[in-house]
A = this chain, B = another copy of it.
Amino acid sequence: MPNTLSDNAIARLSVYRRVLTEMHRDSRTSVRSDDLAAAAGVTASQVRRDLMLVRALGTNKGYDTADLLGAIEKLMDPPEPQEVALVGVGNIGTAVLSYFAGRRPMLDITVAFDNDPAVIGRTLHGCPCLPVTDLAEVVAGRNIRAAIIAVPADAAQKVAEALVSAGVRGIMNFAPVRLRAPRSVYVENVDLTGSLEKAAFFARQRSQKEQGQTGYAY
């Protein structure tokens, strides 16, 4: 099967979309592959290759900003607003909630769950926090297909299982565990520890290289 959208492609398209949205807001009407490339931090070839996926056509003057944006949105956005559930309204959960609130009309965190009585019943940024015991019913009842897990590591697997059996097929997971889930469920692990470690590791590596220290191979 050709033209299957890879993981990375989706991530890049998401970036192009953001860049294009800004350009469009600035009333810029046309954009070339190398402009997009520079703004997105990839090569121009990569941009053109990715744009083949969205079946967007350009001219010798570049692409029409609005058209391109439309094509990407048509591919990436759901045809109708998609609800997302959040489980775990702690530090990260709250941050995510505040950030996404009202930002993407087509992708909205409309319900949150927690097991802490202090949070349950409150409404944060327009999103009600329900007891986690209601999860199965609410998620299944509203046909929610995507969810965010932001509970402590030792609760994550159980939550994931509950979500999956309630019908969720895409999970963004902040907990530092590899969730066991059927192949039919997409799990996007957000490994902040790993990210920070990478930054720290390569920071050391680069500063060594800079000082001309002939160290190990890496």
Residues in chain A within 8 A of chain B (CB atoms): 1-5, 7, 10-11, 14-15, 18, 39-41, 76, 78, 82, 84, 91-92, 94-96, 98-100, 104, 107, 145-148, 167-172, 176, 178, 184-207, 209-210, 217-218
CB atoms of B178 and A188 under 8 A apart = no
CB atoms of B218 and A199 under 8 A apart = no
7 closest A-B pairs by CB: A170-B203, A186-B202, A91-B95, A41-B178, A170-B199, A169-B206, A146-B203
Report the minimal beta-carbon distance from A1 to chain B, rounded to whole angstroms: 6
CB atoms of B186 and A146 under 8 A apart = no
Known contacts being A178-B39, A207-B169, is A14 close to B200, with CB within 8 Å? no
CB atoms of A91 and B84 under 8 A apart = no
CB atoms of A91 and B99 under 8 A apart = yes
- Complex Cα spacing A205 to B75, Å: 11
Known contacts being A95-B91, A145-B207, A206-B170, is A18 close to B193, with CB within 8 Å? yes
Report the minimal beta-carbon distance from A29 to chain B, rounded to whole angstroms: 22
Further contacts, 4 of them, CB under 8 A, given A14-B193, A18-B193: A4-B218, A14-B191, A146-B204, A184-B206
Known contacts being A14-B194, A18-B176, A194-B14, is A200 close to B94, with CB within 8 Å? no
Copies of this chain, tallied across the complex: 2
CB atoms of A197 and B76 under 8 A apart = yes
- Complex Cα spacing A203 to B171, Å: 8
CB atoms of B192 and A188 under 8 A apart = no
Known contacts being A15-B178, A94-B91, is A196 close to B3, with CB within 8 Å? no
Report the minimal beta-carbon distance from A212 to chain B, rounded to whole angstroms: 12
Known contacts being A94-B91, A207-B145, is A195 close to B172, with CB within 8 Å? yes
A205 — which chain B residues lie within 8 A by C-beta? 186
Among candidates B10, B148, B210, residue contacting A197 with C-beta atoms closer than 8 Å: B10
- Complex Cα spacing A195 to B15, Å: 11
- Complex Cα spacing A92 to B107, Å: 20
CB atoms of B200 and A78 under 8 A apart = yes
- Complex Cα spacing A176 to B41, Å: 12
